[in-house]
Chains A and B, each alone.
Chain A
Amino acid sequence: MTFREIRSILKKKTVGIAGAGGLGSNCAVALARVGIGKIIVCDFDVITKDNLNRQYYFHEQLGQKKVFALEENILFINPAVKVEPHVIKLNPESIRTIFKKCDVIVEAFDRADMKQMIIETVLGYFPNTPLVAGLGMAGWGDSNSIGMRKIDNLYICGDEKSEIAEQLPPLAPRVGIVAHMQANTVMEILLSN
């Protein structure tokens, strides 16, 4: 498939991204570069200095809401993408409303309890919508431990073992690998339909 053909398919697609941190911001930018039609992104947080070791933001954006800064950065790269930002802390009810029309949903939260919440919500209410989750990416090195496995309509990207800790922070290289693996999985799903 040529890039022109790829773009003509992807521009008709909508991807929902839950979280605009390390996974969400990098995944969204990759999807914007390949020409996804619409990105719906949800996050309640603002950008802090600690985020810049892995998240797709710039120093001058410190203090801004992540979803608005991400919209701005995406439009710098590809103004054809429609971005729908939501400043919200997602819960089962809002996930059902906001992501109702998405072709694929990306789980890009940082906290394990939020990951569990969205996986159970999407599997329960949208069993036919593919969900691409990121699990296990803290630290550095050991690139080959990061993989993707599929359980029905749930796609898990990550090493499924490295939990963040004071001595094992999430950093750009491994978080970026998982975020791009998520974007790659989204492309694979959308181009195979």
Chain B
Amino acid sequence: MKITLNNNPETVDAEHLTLQELIEYKNFTFRLLVTKVNGSLIKKEDRIITEVRDGDNVAVIHLISGG
């Protein structure tokens, strides 16, 4: 499937994945993330039940300390 990930086109070798599987597939290992699919905020506990499909727009924001 082809998705948009963090504003960039991304081809993923799967028909569909859960958001949690996509995070693991991409090796996003940060402890704290904010995730959105097609503009909707997806809370951490909902990542395992949220499907990502062809054409979806996914944002994964890494929370980094400092300020």
Show the binding face of A for B, using Cβ within 8 Å: 19, 21-24, 108-113, 115-116, 119-120, 123-124, 134-138, 149, 151-152, 154, 156, 158, 160-164, 170, 175
**Known contacts A120-B43, A123-B41: does B65 contact A152 (CB below 8 Å)?**
no
B41 and A120 form a contact (CB under 8 A): yes
B67 and A110 form a contact (CB under 8 A): yes
Tell me which residues from 17 to 58 in chain B have a Cβ below 8 Å from any Cβ of chain A: 31-34, 36, 39, 41, 43
**Known contacts A116-B34, A120-B34: does B66 contact A152 (CB below 8 Å)?**
no
**Known contacts A22-B67, A137-B67, A175-B67: does B32 contact A113 (CB below 8 Å)?**
yes
Q: List 8 A-B contacts (CB under 8 A).
A: A113-B63, A120-B34, A123-B36, A135-B61, A138-B66, A151-B61, A152-B36, A160-B64
Give Cα distance in the complex from A19 to B67, angstroms.
9
Task: Give the interface size bracket for B toward A.
Answer: 10 to 19
CB distance from B50 to the nearest CB of A (A): 15
A116 and B32 form a contact (CB under 8 A): yes
A112 and B61 form a contact (CB under 8 A): no
Q: What residues of B have a CB within 8 angstroms of the CB of A22 in the complex?
A: 66-67
A134 and B67 form a contact (CB under 8 A): yes
**Known contacts A120-B43, A123-B41: does B65 contact A110 (CB below 8 Å)?**
yes
Give Cα distance in the complex from A10 to B57, angstroms.
34
B64 and A112 form a contact (CB under 8 A): yes
